[in-house]
Structure 1
């Protein structure tokens, strides 16, 4: 992945506010119409098969529950490595995403597979913790082998207009990540407007995010087509301005193959074909992979397997 060009730290909250509120406003009606139009695009069978395999390779297979156990993480890792045990041609997932205390288990289970380990840190999902605790959580996950950190921004600070606090926290976590990539979760369902989604996207990008991510998956609405479209516009505009590439990760609510393919169409049309790569586009999901595998089997055999044919996550 090409790292984002981190902007110089803002001199003051006012300077950052002036930049963010100086961004062009979002035409919410226009965004909704474009997202709806892109959702009607259809693709042929051969292209659909390729799209399904690409979507599988983009999945961050995720378990983020209080009842998670080492055994559940190992089972998820086995599925990420070999999604369809009956078909070795099925590609592996991009990564397994777990809480920081289970990173070492996931790393051991995935060693040598090429599947990455991502960890949510920074007091996921609420983000309500002192910065020192967030940095300690990040450093532990990286030390245990996480290649990616998914941090959540302080939405309270953002909505109160304290953009400098959010900027400083992202920069501090980015530094704590060391060699690991940083995905910054905006929790778009709590940002209220698409203008705020655009501002939060730019705030995260300028502070050093390698990816911007819609949601924790714990708040509804999550990865709506409109929010994903606005975020894709932001990374494209950043590339146009700086030449640097930043990834996008929708998470929450993408459960079917149709949903995944609609997102891939949007990526191609809004950001561009460069983003049709797991290095720049991920889908955070737990149940999506099963539907992708069922559709893949149907295309290959003509038979649609039942929902219990694959392991239930």
Structure 2
């Protein structure tokens, strides 16, 4: 694939040579998968799996160290009344809160993820984006969620986006040679078309993304089942072509257990059971966890406790 990224024109030819997306077929398949009925023990398994895949997130201007510590405590023990509840996959915060989260999660298997590269708009120079990334990594971030330059992508400057992802990937490397995992956010709602989402998926994977992510959660249209299905298909095809496995993270707008299970069914039916693992699939969410906990309590007690019985993030 080296020839594909040798020049802007070569990369453009490759990306525009990808098969066009059949929008009707894609949406019909997503609708079909979302109609699957999951009950009893399978539902209990799916709920615990979804909890273990959550990047529990706070990305607000009003974030404080106390709020981040409280979120970390919830991530470690989502249901304090049931220590059998799995912990979440990661806590996702802004770079200046990474150190606080890292300290609060010390001794656990929960990762600290940090948004970077002038999140959420990505409107900054490359040196600023790299400094933002390096700052988060130096503070202890295990994962970096970067945003692509949508303006460059939409104007056809694909090689510029490719080189920026590669540069951020390099900035994720620590002095000891280990590296934070890189999740590349497309902001699908701004890419507008399914063809653009497919091209962005291949572009990011060619540049070395460990994960591809739907959205920031900061725009009107975030994760949808069809665009996540499309990204899962791209991941499957990329592995078949290149032999490299890449994760997928839908983020924004996934709030209910019913929605989360639809995504898990789609993962299983598209890329297979091996992707049903927090190392390869994540939910970017803040409110989803509460609904999963309420449904989990209902399965175990037979009663629906309601939102007053889970912590408010």
Range of TM-score over shorter length: over 0.9
Q: Secondary structure at the match of 2:308?
A: coil
Q: 2:11 aligns with which of 11, 16, 26?
A: 16
2:34 is matched with 39
Superposition deviation, residue 243 in structure 1: 2.0
Does residue 220 of structure 2 align to residue 225 of structure 1?
Answer: no
Q: CA deviation at 1:242?
A: 2.0
Question: 1:272 Cα deviation (Å)?
Answer: 1.3
Distance 1:275 1:244 in 2: 13
Closer/same/farther in 2, CA of residues 30 and 120 from structure 1, 3 Å limit? same
Q: Secondary structure at the match of 2:277?
A: coil
1:213-255: per-residue Cα shift (whole Å, max 9, x none)?
A: 0000001211011100100000000111122110000000000
In structure 1, the partner of 2:172 is 177
Instruction: Decide which of 95, 111, 127 is 2:106's aligned counterpart.
Output: 111
4+ runs of 1 displaced by more than 3 Å? 6-9
Deviation per residue, 1:9-66 (Å, 9 max, x gap): 8221111100000000000000000000000001131010000000000000000001
2: CA distance, partners of 1:140 / 1:228: 30
- Could you give the per-residue CA deviations for residues 106-161 of structure 1, whole angstroms, max 9, x where no partner exists? 00000011110000000000000000011011111111110000000000000000
Residue of structure 1 in register with 2:176 after alignment: none
> What does residue range 54-65 of structure 1 map to in structure 2 within 5 Å?
54-65=49-60
1:132 and 2:150 are equivalent in the alignment: no
How many correspondences in the alignment? 308
Equivalent pair of 1:7/1:206 in contact (CA under 8 Å): no
Partner of residue 123, structure 1: 118
**Alignment partner of 2:46: what SS?**
helix
Tell me if the contact between 2:4 and 2:14 (Cα under 8 Å) persists in the aligned partners: no
**TM-score normalised per structure 1:** 0.97
What is the match of residue 142 of structure 1?
137
Question: Deviation of residue 271 (structure 1)?
Answer: 1.4
C-alpha distance in structure 1 between counterparts of 2:20 and 2:305, whole Å:
46
Give me the whole-angstrom Cα distance separating, in 1, the residues matched to 2:198 and 2:152: 16
**Cα drift, residue 163 of structure 1:** 0.4
Give the aligned partner of residue 168 of structure 1. 163
2: distance between equivalents of 1:245 and 1:216?
A: 23
Gaps of 5+ in 2: 174-178
Tell me the residue number matched to 2:67. 72
TM-score by length of 2: 0.97
Work out whether 1:311 is the aligned partner of 2:306: no
d(CA) in 2 for partners of 1:7 and 1:99?
34
Alignment of 1:236-251 (within 5 A): 236-251=236-251
Q: Work out whether residues 3 and 10 of structure 2, in 8 Å CA contact, stay in contact via their aligned partners in 1.
A: no
Q: Secondary structure at the match of 2:56?
A: strand
Q: 1:8 offset after TM fit, Å? A: 6.8
Tell me the distance in 1 between the aligned counterparts of 2:181 and 2:4: 19
Distance 2:147 2:247 in 1: 16
Which structure has more relative contact order (CA 8 Å, sep 6+)? It is 1
CA contact (8 A) 1:158 1:166 kept: yes
Structure 2: distance between partners of 1:254 and 1:7: 37
RMSD: 1.0
State the Cα deviation string for residues 59-90 of structure 1 (Å, max 9, x = none): 00000001101010000000000000000000
Q: CA deviation at 1:306?
A: 1.2
Matched, 1:151 2:151: no
